Structures are given as structure tokens and as C-alpha cells.
Amino acid sequence: MQKLQDIAVRVEATDGLPLNHSNATPILHEILHALQRLLNEQESTTIDLRALPFGPGDEEELLNQLGTGEIRVELNSLGRSLITETAYSGVWLVDHRNADDQRIALQIEITPIPSILKAQNEDVQDAIERLEDSLNPSCTETAGP
């Protein structure tokens, strides 16, 4: 008798190739047009992969096609985020995770550098205050721990 674990749950492709539902190709075209706009009009584009009706295998196929490029950055704030440049310069994969390492957003950014990597004015202001505090400890009465 067939046991539960013997029943295949993997959806089979007909020709032995890895299964996908061909949704990666139109996104790759969208990325191509976005790259052209970036070069000619300096316009950045963000594609939210969560908003796309991908079938099993589509996301893997897209990421596979995009490949891995020269830069890989890890951001640690409210959980880990991985920002990687794909094999196509100017096409970035931004993978935001929460403290439990569950994905909370997955986006493709077509831009010279993803905006989240830039130092933010508020954080720079905070840095100035902290550095001043550490250089002049006597001047501060309310320094944090």
C-alpha cells in the first residue's frame, strides 16, 4: 500500500526541466526597460516581488536568471537585510528580513545605489551628538547608557 510520504507533492514538469510558470520572462523585460530609463533619464525603479502572482518555481527562475554580481551588503536593523547587486549592474535585490529571519519584503531596485544604503540625515545628527558626548563626557548630564 502506498504510504503518505510516497505520494509526490512536487509538481512535475513535462519535459524534465525545472518547473516554472514562465512569469520570470516578463519581469526580465520590465527590468530591461527600467535599466534603459535609468541610463537615459536617471529614473530609478522598484519592483515589489510580493505583489506578483508567481507560481511555484517562478521566483527561483527569476533570481537564477539575474545571478550574483560584485556587491553584497548586510544591513542589521530590525532584523537582517541583504542587499546584493545582481549579475546586471544597476539591478539590485533587496531582501528584508525580520528578527526571526522571516522575509518581510523582497524587492528588485534598478538604481545606481539602493537608497537604504545611504547614511540618513537623522542618523548623522545622532552620530554627531554621540561622538560629541564621548569626546566631552563632562559637558553632558543626560548621556545615555
Partner 1 sequence: MADEMMRFTQTLGESLRERGVSRRGFLKFCTATASMMALPPTMVPAIAAALEKARRPSVIWLSFQECTGCTESLTRSHSPTVENLIFDHISLDYHHTLQAAAGEAAEAAREAAMHENEGKYLVVVDGSIPLANPGFSTIAGVSNLQMLEETVKGAAAVVAVGTCAAFGGLPHANPNPTGAVSVSDIVKDKPVVNVSGCPPIPTVITGVLAHFLTFGELPELDHLGRPMTFYGQSIHDRCYRRPFYDKGLFAETFDDEGARKGWCLYRLGCKGPMTYNACATTRWNQGTSWPVESGHGCLGCSEPNFWDTGGFYNALSIPDSDITRNIGAVVAGGVVLGAAAGALNRSKRASAAAKHETVTIDDLDKTS
Q: Where does this chain bind partner 1 (CB under 8 A)?
A: 8, 11-12, 14, 21-23, 46-48, 50-56, 58, 75, 77-78, 81, 94, 96, 98-100, 102-105, 107, 115-116, 120-123, 126
Judged by CB, which is closer to partner 1: 108, or 138?
A: 108
The least CB distance from residue 101 to partner 1, in Å, is: 11
Give the residue with the Cβ less far from partner 1, 104 or 131: 104
Residue identified by cell 541583504 is: 82
CA 32 – CA 93 distance, rounded (Å)? 15
Minimum CB–partner distance for residue 87 and partner 1 (Å): 22
Residue 7 or 138 having the CB closest to partner 1 = 7
How far apart CA 58 and CA 62 sit, in angstroms, is 6
Nearer to partner 1, 63 or 138 (CB): 63
DSSP 50-114: GGS---TTHHHHHHHHH---S-EEEEESSSEEEEEE-SSTTEEEEEEE-TTS-EEEEEEEESSS-
